Structure 1
Amino acid sequence: MLNISRIKIKESIPFSGAKSLVMTLPLRESQKRVRILLSIMLVFFIILFVPWTQNIRSKGYVTALRPDQRPQTIHSIIAGRIEKWYVNEGAFVHKGDTILTISEIKDEYFDSLLLPRTQLQVQAKASSAKSYEEKVQALQNQIEALQRNNILKLQQAENKLRMSELKVQSDSIKFQQAKVNFDIGKQQLERWEALYQEGIRSLTDLESRRLKFQDVQAKLIAAENQYLSSQNELITARIDLDAIDNEFKDKLAKAESEMYTAMSARFDAEATVTKLENQYSNYEARTGFRHILAPQDGYLAKSIQVGIGETIKEGDAILNIVPSNADLAVEMYVQPVDLPLIKVGNKVRFIFDGWPAIVFSGWPQISNGTFGGVVTAIDQFAGPNNQYRVLVVEDPEEEPWPEMLRIGSGADGIALLNDVPVWYEIWRQLNGFPADYYTQEQKDAIEKEKK
């Protein structure tokens, strides 16, 4: 106050009995502070024995449980030129719906009658293979006929050879007989000459004997000539026998050579037919690849290739599709030190982006706005970030996840572990010890085993 007025308030109104003054007296203020401090200490002491749920927090995002339900990119199998779009971004498509059409950009597929002409080539080559097959069959019949004919000719030649051998034997006997007759005739002629010298026989008888001897000598020469002729016939029969066998082998080799050539041509034609059929199937399948179809039910996302007339290569990405009715899961990552604490079936609480929540990590019972999950899979190896991936699905025993939850949304996961007193958790955090690995039931079982 500036004390400008001459009327003094302090002289007319006493302040010693003011209630506010009494409340601020030093003695009473110290007593209040002691009570507040004692109350805080009591509350803190009680809190030390309140159950605290150990947990592991980790960031993650919403994904699909099955790989085929996750967002995927639709690629073009063939190179082409975009001709027409049938759907818009964000549209819902069913499996098999046509998304866009592309045309060929390679000159080898420009022919509008490519499939019919390829089919004609297949039929022509198949007919060629059929004709070669018939030729092979005809040559096989020819070879069989040659074999039968050769058997008959061999039998005929063997019979002729046998006849020649018998004739040689017969002529040999006749020749020996002529030789004996020649020796006898010679001896008789010598005796007749002796008798003629002695005068016992006349000259006429001697000349008659000489004529008979010449006849015997002529028969000897004829028998020898016949014998030599029979030997020549035997040699000729043997030569004919060998010639028949050689001729058969020559004809057989020629026929087999033609047969194998026809078989080779048939196999080549059949291989060409198979190649053309494969080419026809490829052309037919390629025709279907000109229409880009939806691989499954879902919503079309961002288009990577746009416009009309834009060319794309084999395997180029065209647009993304998000499958509908996917089984949602959360993909979260944990540090290697926390991996032994996570196992399949553990409970997890989630805070999804876009859904407000009030979270008390140590007391999940009083948290609000969180959603429950169950660990369903844990990777057996660490990822590039040296963390292990954990998949968590919706807990069927709790409130279902929001219907508007979408794949890719962020999620803050709280993996729930054992229930311990608050003082134990504080002591563990101050000493840097990991959370309890065993559950209380496992601890009780271990204690029983020790006892």
Structure 2
Amino acid sequence: MNMKKYLSTLFNQLSNKRSMLYNPEDDKLLVHKEDYLSLKKAFQNSGETKIVKWLMRVMGVILLFMLFPWTQNIQAPGMITTRLPEQRPQQLNSIIGGRIEKWYVKEGDMVKKGDTILKITEVKDSYLDPQLLERTKEQIQAKEQTVDYYQSKSEAIQNQLSALNQVRQYKMQQLRNKIKQAVLYVQSDSMALEAVRTELKIATDQYKRQEELFKQGLKSLTELEQRKQQLQNATAKALISENKFINSKNDLLNARIELNQTDREFNEKIAKAQGERFSTLSDATTGQGEIAKLRNQFSNYNIRNGFYFVLAPQDGQITKTISAGIGEVVKEGAEIAKIVPQNFKYAVEMYVEPVDIALVSTGQKVRFQFDGWPAIVFSGWPNVSYGTYPGKVVAIDNAISDNGKFRILVAEDAEEQPWPRALRIGGGAKGMALLKDVTVIYEIWRRMNGFPPDFYKAMLKPEDKKSKKK
């Protein structure tokens, strides 16, 4: 029998106050304590023996406690918020400057999206005219008529240009025909001149031969005078033909000059008409630009009329009015009231020390103790704690905040216990980011030596990994 069994048997015998000794080898009693006085005193129960027993029991319990599991954690204060910007408390601002005429709500009222909050009236002299939209519309109509007139004028000038081009084409064709005719006249007169010159030469030769014959006495004076008359007639015909030829050439030159002059005149008329047309088109384009500007003003005026009533952007509660007085003048963009959305998804904003930020990862579990909710918290045993609520890290800032810490956002864990619906944005919370499970004695040793918690990556579920990859 081993020593463990021996001690166990001896302890049981002493507890039952049995006055005997025990032999572990043959499992028999050796002596009774009543037989020996010294043995009786040795086995006599005293107060010191009881204290020793209790100390041993306490030490055993402490040793057992040291082997219990302990969940390392990072604790940090937080504040209740929401991840969606449109679900956070918002300012109601006046888009235009004006004077508060009437309030339709009071602080604490619940409003629906589109409900009227207050009415503002104009204070700028540019918008005081009650018929501003009608007058602007009349200006637009007048400008549209002016543009129509310019377009009609442009079409008329275009028709004039078409007519000028057509007349120019006919006139130029007429002058070209005239030039062709003059060329033919020059050619005809040139040939006639050559013929007359040939006749003149023949007449001259005949007159010279007739004169020689007359000197020889072979021809009479009458025949000589006839040849002379023929020579004079040929000379006159030559002069007439030459003058006619020169006139033909002058007519041809004049026709060409007239063609160039007519072309230049029509070019000037067409250029002038085109200039007028371009000027008209420019005026029409300017008018269209002014119409667009007036339409823009009309649209701005019309939209501005809708800003006289400040409407609720979403369902929520009016928590605070900034500009409260009737007749109080507010500036453009000034804050008028604050509204807290009625429906929102909870999240907690926590700030973690830089030395601990490496231990926090997306998807990591966090336990919260919210202000106003009773709780019994065992930081090392979150599952045993009462009144705490689970969460999951959804975002970690990459840059440090102004307070020298890193901000993390923790949202509800859809698979765990839901958070209380009575929570309000801005409420306080104390968060514990759960890390690695260790023994109590290891945790005590770590803290005594000032070591940081063990680096631990939260195990993501398969669906979380898929969503993270996406």
Identify the TM-score tier after normalising by the shorter chain.
0.7 to 0.9
SS in 1 for 2:70: strand
Amino acid at match of 2:309: H
1:233 matches 2:233: no
1:276 matches 2:276: no
Match of 1:77 among 95, 101, 105: 95
Match of 1:99 among 106, 114, 117: 117
Query: Could you say which residue in structure 2 is the equivalent of 1:368?
Result: 386
Deviations 1:117-165 (A, max 9, x none): 1111112212222222232233233323322332222222111111111
Q: Distance in 1 between matches of 2:91 and 2:61?
A: 58
Query: Aligned in 2, Cα 1:439/1:236: closer, same or farther, shift over 3 Å?
Result: closer
Query: Could you say which residue in structure 1 is the equivalent of 2:375?
Result: 357
Query: Could you say which residue in structure 1 is the equivalent of 2:466?
Result: none
1:395 matches 2:381: no
Query: Could you say which residue in structure 2 is the equivalent of 1:181?
Result: 199
Q: Distance in 1 between matches of 2:102 and 2:459?
A: 65
Amino acid at match of 1:192: Q
Q: Distance in 2 between matches of 1:126 and 1:439?
A: 71
1:313 matches 2:316: no
Q: Distance in 2 between matches of 1:315 and 1:99?
A: 16
Query: Could you say which residue in structure 2 is the equivalent of 1:87?
Result: 105
1:155-304, aligned counterparts within 5 Å?
A: 155-304=173-322
SS in 1 for 2:390: strand
Moved more, 303-312 or 433-442: 433-442
Aligned residues: 416
Match of 1:149 among 129, 154, 167: 167
Q: Distance in 1 between matches of 2:416 and 2:275?
A: 84
Q: 1:392: how far off?
A: 1.3
Deviations 1:187-239 (A, max 9, x none): 33333334444444444443343333322222111111111110110101110
Q: Distance in 2 between matches of 1:306 and 1:157?
A: 90
Query: Could you say which residue in structure 2 is the equivalent of 1:342?
Result: 360
Query: Aligned in 2, Cα 1:147/1:313: closer, same or farther, shift over 3 Å?
Result: same
Query: Aligned in 2, Cα 1:170/1:440: closer, same or farther, shift over 3 Å?
Result: closer
1:54 matches 2:96: no
Deviations 1:156-182 (A, max 9, x none): 211111111110111111112222222
TM-score by length of 1: 0.87
Match of 1:137 among 148, 155, 173: 155
Share of identical aligned residues, percent? 49
Q: 1:33: how far off?
A: 4.1
Q: Distance in 2 between matches of 1:275 and 1:407?
A: 46
Query: Could you say which residue in structure 2 is the equivalent of 1:114?
Result: 132
1:64 matches 2:89: no
Q: Retained in 1: the 8 A contact 2:359–2:457?
A: no
Moved more, 303-312 or 425-434: 425-434
SS in 1 for 2:185: helix
Q: Distance in 2 between matches of 1:62 and 1:146?
A: 83
Query: Aligned in 2, Cα 1:168/1:440: closer, same or farther, shift over 3 Å?
Result: closer
Q: Distance in 2 between matches of 1:343 and 1:372?
A: 16
Amino acid at match of 2:144: A
SS in 2 for 1:386: coil
Q: Distance in 2 between matches of 1:195 and 1:401?
A: 155
Query: Aligned in 2, Cα 1:336/1:119: closer, same or farther, shift over 3 Å?
Result: same
Q: Distance in 2 between matches of 1:432 and 1:130?
A: 88
Query: Could you say which residue in structure 2 is the equivalent of 1:41?
Result: 59
Q: Distance in 1 between matches of 2:140 and 2:455?
A: 70
Q: 1:365: how far off?
A: 2.2
Amino acid at match of 2:424: R
Q: Distance in 2 between matches of 1:220 and 1:398?
A: 131
Q: Distance in 2 between matches of 1:394 and 1:441?
A: 18
Query: Could you say which residue in structure 2 is the equivalent of 1:12?
Result: none
Query: Aligned in 2, Cα 1:103/1:371: closer, same or farther, shift over 3 Å?
Result: same
Q: Distance in 2 between matches of 1:375 and 1:191?
A: 140
SS in 2 for 1:358: coil
Query: Aligned in 2, Cα 1:167/1:324: closer, same or farther, shift over 3 Å?
Result: same
SS in 1 for 2:404: coil
1:377 matches 2:395: yes
Moved more, 128-137 or 106-115: 128-137
Query: Aligned in 2, Cα 1:440/1:253: closer, same or farther, shift over 3 Å?
Result: closer
Q: Distance in 2 between matches of 1:75 and 1:354?
A: 33
Structure 2: segments with no counterpart, 5+ residues? 1-44, 461-470
SS in 1 for 2:289: helix
Deviations 1:250-288 (A, max 9, x none): 122112111211121111111111111111111111111
Amino acid at match of 1:226: K
Q: Distance in 2 between matches of 1:33 and 1:307?
A: 79
1:333 matches 2:358: no
SS in 1 for 2:78: strand
Q: Distance in 2 between matches of 1:398 and 1:233?
A: 113
SS in 2 for 1:357: coil
Q: 1:381: how far off?
A: 1.8
